[in-house]
Amino acid sequence: MNKLLLTLLLALSLCLQSFSQCASQTILPDSAFAGKTLLTSGSCSTYHLNKPLVTGVGYTFHVVLNGYAGGSCGSNPPSASVVCQVYLGYDSCDMTGQLLTITNGGFPFPDTLNRYNLSVHPSQSFTYISVVYSFNAGQGWVGCPSALIVDSFKLISSAEPLAVSVQLNNNSCAVDSNGKATAHATGYPPFTYHWNNGQTDSVLIHAPVGTYQVTVRDSTGCLVNDTIAIGTQTPPSATISLLPNDTLKTSLSSSYQWYLNGSAITGATSQYYVAQQNGNYDVVIIDSTGCTSSASSPIYIGNLTGIDEINGTGVRLYPNPATNSVTIFSDNSSTILKLCDLTGRELISKEISGKMNNFDISLFANGVYIIKILQGEKQFCQKLIINK
């Protein structure tokens, strides 16, 4: 396939991405008033529009008028007052609607035809357009017939041509099918919509990543289409920072899951995690749209400090020494923890629930304290140092 053919195919594909096709003469045919002759003052010519005018949007009509004086006055007609008016209304020769005055002046018209562009924004959805001729003769018009000739009356631009614009909402994740596109049409309502996946509403929903085309038809038969691509929002990115005391922190998000050596850590579902074992740690986060990140780059913890394991209990204490808080990890849910000073006075007594439990010790003075662990009839003790 040569370069010229490839170029032509590319040009054709680009042309197909957006097109507009409208039925001609849908509102006011060029022949509607062509050659109409209004012979007497007050006479009217009218046309029932094929479609109602659209309120508030712009139309421009091009009007060509000529005057005629016959009989003995044809070559040198006396003066006269001429008024030509255009009405938008709801019935034949309805003169109660919106008035457009074309000309108000002397007669006859010059040899060159009188041309006018009438621009109007209809105040209502009028269905008729009428041309009315008024003639007030001066002296010397006896036996001199007159006429107003409408050489042409054309609609040269109508209300906003049919157009469509599309507003996109990409998928929250590449694997999701919650993309959305809304087509906004202008022109002659009502509009019909057809998407290339078969949906027929102005709003395309449940759309996976891909290319979509919408075709819109208005009430005059005009067609227009647009092609859009629905993509995916940028997925969240998980990173890990290592804080003092073997504390791991990840990016702020809606939910979290920490992993050790590739296995999910039970209960490790917050932005921070205190490492309990040596190994490779990584994390996955989920944002507010439900999109899941890829696993973060792992971080290796190989020399844990400050974690005391109370032998035989499945309970670990961190950090020790402590400042304002202490974290207790327990593999046994039926555990009661007590904090006592060296006199034996009980300062805290609490049943541990769940794997990780935080205790506020900010109100206690520096010194040595005793942690007591009660599991059934067994009791274990561990020294805790508070040093702020």
Per the structure block, which two tokens stand in for 265?
């850590």
Per the structure block, which two tokens stand in for 314?
């499945």
Q: Which long-range contacts (CB under 8 A, 24 or more apart) does 227-231 make?
A: 227/17, 227/18, 228/166, 228/168, 228/181, 230/168, 230/170, 230/171, 230/179, 230/181, 231/170, 231/171, 231/179
Phi and psi at residue 9, to the nearest 5°: -65, -40
> pLDDT-derived band of residue 304, with 50, 70 and 90 as boundaries?
low
Per the structure block, which two tokens stand in for 20?
């507009």
> pLDDT-derived band of residue 11, with 50, 70 and 90 as boundaries?
very low
The string of pLDDT tens digits covering residues 321-373 is: 888 888 887 776 678 888 988 888 899 998 876 667 788 899 999 988 988 88
pLDDT at 312: 61
pLDDT at 176: 65
Q: Please list, in sequence order, all residues whose beta carbon lies within 8 angstroms of the beta carbon of residue 241, skipping any fewer than 6 positions away.
A: 248, 249, 250
CA–CA separation, 7 and 161 (whole Å): 31
pLDDT at 308: 56
> pLDDT-derived band of residue 17, with 50, 70 and 90 as boundaries?
very low
Q: Work out the burial of residue 159: count CB atoms within 10 Å of its CB; fewer than 13 is exposed, 13-18 middle, 19 or more buried.
A: buried
Q: Work out the burial of residue 258: count CB atoms within 10 Å of its CB; fewer than 13 is exposed, 13-18 middle, 19 or more buried.
A: buried
Q: Which of 214, 220, 189, 166 is nearest to 56 (CA)?
A: 189
Q: Mean pLDDT, to the nearest integer, of 199-222?
A: 86
Quick check: 107 pLDDT over 70?
Answer: no
The string of pLDDT tens digits covering residues 248-303 is: 899 999 999 999 999 999 989 999 998 878 788 999 999 887 788 889 988 877 66
pLDDT at 296: 92
CA–CA separation, 8 and 354 (whole Å): 68
Compute the radius of gyration of the chain from its Cα atoms.
43
Give the least confident one: 20-24, 213-217, 262-266. 20-24
Q: How far is CA 163 from the centre of its chain?
A: 17
Q: Are strands 356-360 and 325-330 parallel, antiparallel or unpaired?
A: antiparallel
Q: Work out the burial of residue 291: count CB atoms within 10 Å of its CB; fewer than 13 is exposed, 13-18 middle, 19 or more buried.
A: buried
The per-residue pLDDT of the chain, averaged, comes to: 76
Q: Please list, in sequence order, all residues whose beta carbon lies within 8 angstroms of the beta carbon of residue 37, skipping any fewer than 6 positions away.
A: 68, 147, 148, 149, 150
Give the least confident one: 62-76, 198-212, 262-276. 62-76
Quick check: 90 pLDDT over 90?
Answer: yes
Quick check: 137 pLDDT over 50?
Answer: yes
CA–CA separation, 52 and 89 (whole Å): 10
The residue with greater pLDDT, 86 or 22, is 86
pLDDT at 201: 93
CA–CA separation, 358 and 45 (whole Å): 91
Q: Are 320 and 309 in contact (CB under 8 A)?
A: no
pLDDT at 104: 54
Give the least confident one: 58-62, 240-244, 311-315, 331-335. 311-315
- Please, what are the domains in the chain? 36-157 (2.60.120), 163-230 (2.60.40.10), 240-301 (2.60.40.10), 308-386 (2.60.40.3080)
| In the chain, alpha helices (H) | 3-16
When mean pLDDT is compared over 75-84, 130-139, 261-270, the highest value belongs to 261-270
> pLDDT-derived band of residue 234, with 50, 70 and 90 as boundaries?
confident
pLDDT at 200: 94
- The DSSP 8-state label assigned to residue 10 in this structure reads H
Q: Are 218 and 50 in contact (CB under 8 A)?
A: no
CA–CA separation, 147 and 45 (whole Å): 13
The one-letter amino acid code at 327 reads T
pLDDT at 54: 75
